[in-house]
Structure 1
């Protein structure tokens, strides 16, 4: 039998993997990879449009909010998980530990609410309420009712909601001249986040089919073939936007670098999927490429900020 990246595994290994989360999969199982993606892009958008770093309470509020949304979505998925058939390690984790995760969810909600009430500005509260409404609408559209048709694929909805969430500080401090650049930047980021979700859906399409989970890839299989070209086109558009000075250069660097990394991952994933075979026997499948999907969105902002900090330090040293 083969796993998501084409490795041959035995039934004993599958049984062990069902009970054990490897070290490199913990971030994905706990939704901490999504939180990390959100926080590094919060840095990019806030730095680009507010000319400052997010405060500690802003980091905490956004990070907790992302964790709450992702954990709630996965807990809902675990309710209808068929453990007798193959499923992802993160869904298995949320099914197996749903009670402590529910307790942790309510504790995190209380802490997040306390931070919002005690620290958020009036403008942030207004934009935060809009974000809550958008998130509730997203979760409801994805989870209830289950088999209804929706106008937009859930991966696209997730990308739009995520981009709006990580740009909340920028929206709350918006100046009239920044509206167009910020809107375009958010939409461009939403594409990258959507491509990330679509890449994961491609890598897990057999698991989604076995579990009867909704997926853009299952609804429109041709999407997989379009993704590489769409990523290349998006990178070219981003390059044009920086040349005509429409969006900040740092934002463009992160977008193009993310496009390149997701493109490499999509190509590698499509090749491994072409050779894999997967049955429906119950076990938790661990795909290393899935764990790399969010890493592809973390590295570009980190490289951008580290490079910028080094350059600034060297400039200060030279002036001194």
Structure 2
């Protein structure tokens, strides 16, 4: 027991130094507050709509941001339940400690966000709500699988790892407002959706590789293989984006390609960046559509 207390104390001390960086870095604070994923979701949602000339109201973007923030904040708070009893300190990062420390404030924020989301629901297209309910049911099942499955060796054994499941869910959410209002675009947008899902998975895999220099023995076999081939996967995604751009609609694949190149660049300089800053930057490079803003706001 004494040894475990010492480990927890050491981990807490390390987390203090990680969190201290947030006071001087808006980028890290943006990440610790779980604002990174919602912003990425909103940007790609509106980018997809604008690219296809689909009229998606601002309320849809706001609702998307609130829903994604609720999801990510809840996931991190659920992850840190093991910090209350004597849990597994080694699997936590700065974002987990931050959420655990400020869990009361996050609880209030989540309550306010839930009310705001409920008020916005009547403004959303009914087809969008139906599609989101279907996706939400699948996601809820996966959440239960993650957080209700007993830990084995410090990790949960699941059919597919989070690193590969986040991509399809996240990509689908950003395309739903557009395809709900314009169902005829479903097939034509499928290649773009697959490309973006691949980018989201690549983002998660890079983050996993940075946070686990030596992947756990009981990590999922797909994660083990993927993190050993990240450069190959990223290069393949860039080539796929370039090939897709040749069909004429270049804007969306260009944004995906820019983001993938950004992840590859971060991987090259990872040794010079603190973990929270690196994690925040990994999401920041997914904001590539903003770099192309002059081309899609015309």
Q: TM-score range by the shorter chain?
A: 0.7 to 0.9
Q: Which has the higher contact order (CA 8 A, sep 6+)?
A: 1
SS at 1:167's partner residue? helix
SS at 2:229's partner residue? helix
Q: Where does residue 289 of structure 1 map in the other structure?
A: 278
TM-score by length of 1: 0.77
Instruction: State whether structure 2 residue 86 is matched by structure 1 residue 97.
Output: no
Cα deviations by residue, 1:103-154 (Å, 9 ceiling, x for unpaired): 22122112112211x2112212212212321321232232221445323221
User: Structure 1 stretches of 5 or more lacking a match?
Assistant: 1-10, 277-284, 313-320
Equivalent positions of 1:1-320 (< 5 A) are 14=14, 17=17, 20=20, 21-22=22-23, 23-24=25-26, 25-49=28-52, 51-52=53-54, 54-81=56-83, 82=87, 87-116=92-121, 118-147=122-151, 149-176=157-184, 178-205=185-212, 220-245=223-248, 248-269=249-270, 272=271, 286-298=275-287, 300-309=288-297, 312=298
- Tell me how far apart the structure 1 counterparts of residues 145 and 75 of structure 2 sit (CA, whole Å): 11
TM-score by length of 2: 0.83
8 A contact 2:50–2:296 mirrored in 1: no
User: Structure 2 stretches of 5 or more lacking a match?
Assistant: 1-10
Gap change, CA 1:249 and 1:85, over 3 Å in 2: closer
**CA drift at 1:304:** 1.1
Computed over aligned residues only, the root mean square deviation of the Cα atoms, in angstroms, reads: 3.0
- Tell me how far apart the structure 1 counterparts of residues 260 and 81 of structure 2 sit (CA, whole Å): 34
Gap change, CA 1:154 and 1:15, over 3 Å in 2: closer
- Tell me how far apart the structure 2 counterparts of residues 151 and 86 of structure 1 sit (CA, whole Å): 19
**CA drift at 1:266:** 2.4
- Tell me how far apart the structure 2 counterparts of residues 66 and 16 of structure 1 sit (CA, whole Å): 27
- Tell me how far apart the structure 1 counterparts of residues 112 and 43 of structure 2 sit (CA, whole Å): 24
8 A contact 1:265–1:289 mirrored in 2: yes
8 A contact 1:242–1:252 mirrored in 2: yes
8 A contact 2:99–2:106 mirrored in 1: yes
Gap change, CA 1:127 and 1:221, over 3 Å in 2: closer
8 A contact 1:185–1:251 mirrored in 2: yes
**CA drift at 1:223:** 2.4
